[in-house]
Structure 1
């Protein structure tokens, strides 16, 4: 019997949901340490990925035909080897739209109301009504401010929807300038610096590709509106960390909310840790109690089509674009 190997825990109900959509397939739900090499090599479909299973999954006698990742990003996978083997690759794009957009707004509202500074004073039992940081501008309320979203996909669309509810002006930047609901102006990537010059808040939700690596560099910070607030909920290496630190020190960027980094975990000697104008979260913006449920829904739709001889309809990765 054909096999589906899932590396992540599922409830009995979720396993049944997948089995109903994939008649003729046996479901094996084990973590990477519990799987033996033969189970990996015999899997036609693998849900999730791990470097430790790649050795067996990509051998010449492997039966692997399709990988459904547990994440939206695929930059850590062996894309060339998967492509050369003709293996289908789908990701979990869309799962993160609600939790990450809410995390983005948690950071934006914290910066606008200086909540991150208040919490630090609270820990010191310090009653201080002036929450400004000397030498840095304070953005105040977000109503009426301009939000620039770089990389308008599922997360960007939901972020734009929330932004309009707060009365913000929204500028989007992506490969296509096709209009989107809740985005007042859409620019292509060629217009990135033009957009940055207008943003009170700049949100990066770009995937990591050869094109986007260090897209936010010294030139980008120079082009940005002075005193803008930057939030990175995309991929760490899309930002040149040293130039961001310089921009924060100079006040060109007034604050940064960072969930992802070039090096993770962020080294303890990195200056970002001790900057008052920085909020750090450990790559958890997409975490939530409905994550598995949403991945299973995506996979169920895909596997139903796959068993009927069709390509997975949702989130099929373009190996050339790397997303």
Structure 2
């Protein structure tokens, strides 16, 4: 099984894969007109992978190095019978910690204090009485998978009420309540924190639009650690300007990098981070563990063991 490595496997990781006995790891520099036609699997995705997809007659397996796969040619995979897996699950801890950081930064006056710091203003008397605790506050979380559950668990530890929103609306651990998509909008209208971690699909693109923000009656904090294009940026900016939202914590954006002329840069009630919420030092090791398990299974059974993507659903 010839595997094209597009995610910088270490020497130890390559050796471990090749110790399976039927695996040859090919680095990008080793790809040529001869072996490109016989690539069986790809780890990662870029233009070289696209070339392999067009030329290999043996490609059967692709593993992304991300959880989201909206940037990949899913219809081509379906047409060619290619199995796609992702690294869903490894982001739950870092992203949930990031969300808690955003929530506490707003609740405890850190955002306001940092904005005043730029002008060397001491605003303790003003901010002290505006601060609040997140006990008995409500967080509505759009997405109840690995990450959503981890966020809900951490917020519940602070005494926050957690409402999950999913397609199925079925009960999920660490959520006080789970509702379907339509009822989720009604729940969000009354929330203190609205958190998006949904995957990007045709259904979720621009899900958070003007009509959504127009229903926000409680001036919540909006947090996006899901996918940038699920939010209509112009509508988000308008909602912030019109105080339909009290603030926003944003890690992903409709256009990345965020354009230099975006009004979001100058908004003092907005936390901006450059798509880093899912990153952590052990990322490569945890992603490899999933790859190794899937390659071993593919050799033995012809099927991936875990994290198989539903190509029709997009996640």
Shift of 1:5: 1.5
Alignment CA distance shift 1:37-1:103 (3 Å): farther
- Whether 1:67 and 2:62 are equivalent positions in the alignment is yes
Residue 18 of structure 2 corresponds to residue 19 of structure 1: yes
Contact preservation (8 Å) 1:200, 1:225: no
Matched residues in 2 for 1:229 and 1:71: separation? 27
How many residue pairs were aligned?
A: 314
2:227 matches 1:235:
yes
Residue 41 (str. 1) matches residue 37 (str. 2): yes
Corresponding position of 1:92: 87
After superposition, give the CA deviation of every residue in 1:191-240 in whole Å (9 maximum; x if it has no partner).
12122123110100000000001111112112224210000000011111
Q: 120, 123, 127: which is aligned to 2:122?
A: 127
Task: Quote the Cα distance in structure 1 between the aligned partners of 2:164 and 2:311.
Answer: 24
Q: Distance in 2 between matches of 1:139 and 1:253?
A: 17
Q: Name which of 275, 279, 284 aligns with 2:276.
A: 284
Partners of 1:72 and 1:91 within 8 A in 2: yes
Aligned pairs for 1:232-311 (under 5 A) are 232-311=224-303
5+ long unaligned stretches in structure 1: none
Q: Could you tell me the TM-score, scaled by structure 2's length?
A: 0.94
Change (3 A) 1:127 1:191: same
Match of 2:152 in 1: 160
1:132-147 paired onto structure 2 within 5 Å? 140-147=132-139
Does residue 3 of structure 1 match 2:5?
Answer: no
Runs of 4+ aligned residues of structure 1 deviating over 6 Å after TM superposition are none
Counterparts of 1:70-219 in structure 2 under 5 Å?
A: 70-129=65-124, 140-219=132-211
- Matches of 1:186 and 1:144, distance apart in 2: 17
Structure 2 gaps, min length 5: none
Among 298, 308, 312, the residue aligned to 1:316: 308
Deviations 1:154-201 (A, max 9, x none): 110110110111111000001112211110100111212122123110
Asked whether the 8 Å contact 1:204–1:234 carries over to 2, the reply is yes
Post-superposition shift, 1:39? 4.0
Structure 1 CA distance for aligned equivalents of residues 107 and 36 of structure 2: 49
Q: TM-score, normalised by structure 1?
A: 0.91
- RMSD of aligned Cα (Å): 1.9
